[in-house]
Amino acid sequence: MSSLEQAASRALAMMDLTSLNDDDDDATIRTLCRRTDTPYGAPAAVCLYPAFIDAADRELTAMGIRDRVRIATVTNFPDGSVNVERACRETRAAVAAGADEVDVVFPYKALIGGDAESGRALVAACRDACGDRLLKVILETGELEDPALIRQAADIALECGADFLKTSTGKVAVNATLEAADILLSAIRDSGRDVGFKAAGGIRSTEDAKAYLDLAAGIMGEAWLTPAHFRFGASGLLDALLATLSGDDTQPTGGGY
């Protein structure tokens, strides 16, 4: 197996196969779930709006892979409001509906404006609301832009109990970048905490995925690279990974989230 094929195999197991579109419906989510059953194994999770948690649970259960594919959802999404009550309400509802993982948007606009306390309050409150479920904090690094602000947001999320740091919503002009990933991974390393990293938005090829995996291995070590620590939030990436693994270069190389 070539190094690119090895990266594709590893990345597939680390994917949060995502559909966060305004026109999603139960049929869209059933189709998304069916895509997880590949000849090369299943992604780590599907990621979808809270309204579709039940549809995903039913479909994955019917497929016999619910124990292998987790259900992730989003809250305070995509705007990153400072409304702690709203974020907690959405998070509690997502957990009650059966989500295994909650991706909550950090109040990044407030931080840009000099307000760090809103981020601390919201992440800490959502950590409590999440209970024993995985809490991923979306920092929206492309909007924060300034490396110092990205690091500040990462440190706040880490201090307040994040289980994962996630780059982006996939809903802004600049989403995951290697530069932002370097900052977040370095913050995780420096914290000494057992926290994961998720790159989301704009990762469309096996080569893209391999670049992130190589970066993470250099900062955190090869042994750290497991689905418990590393995720890709993407939709079209799956097609590219499957094309690499099958040796079929005629397949599409992905697109979308």
Residues that are catalytic: 103, 166, 198
CA–CA dist 41, 46 (Å, integer): 14
End-to-end, the C-alpha distance of the chain in Å comes to 28
Q: How far is CA 180 from the centre of its chain?
A: 14
CA–CA dist 255, 257 (Å, integer): 7
Helix, strand, or coil here: 102? strand
CA–CA dist 59, 20 (Å, integer): 17
Cβ-count burial 221-246 (b if 16+ within 10 Å, e if not):
eeebbebebbbbbbbbbbbbbbbbbe
Q: Is the Cα torsion angle 91, 163, 238, 76 positive or negative in sign?
A: positive
Query: What's the token pair of residue 106?
Result: 């950090």
* 8 Å CB contact between 102 and 72: yes
* 8 Å CB contact between 112 and 149: yes
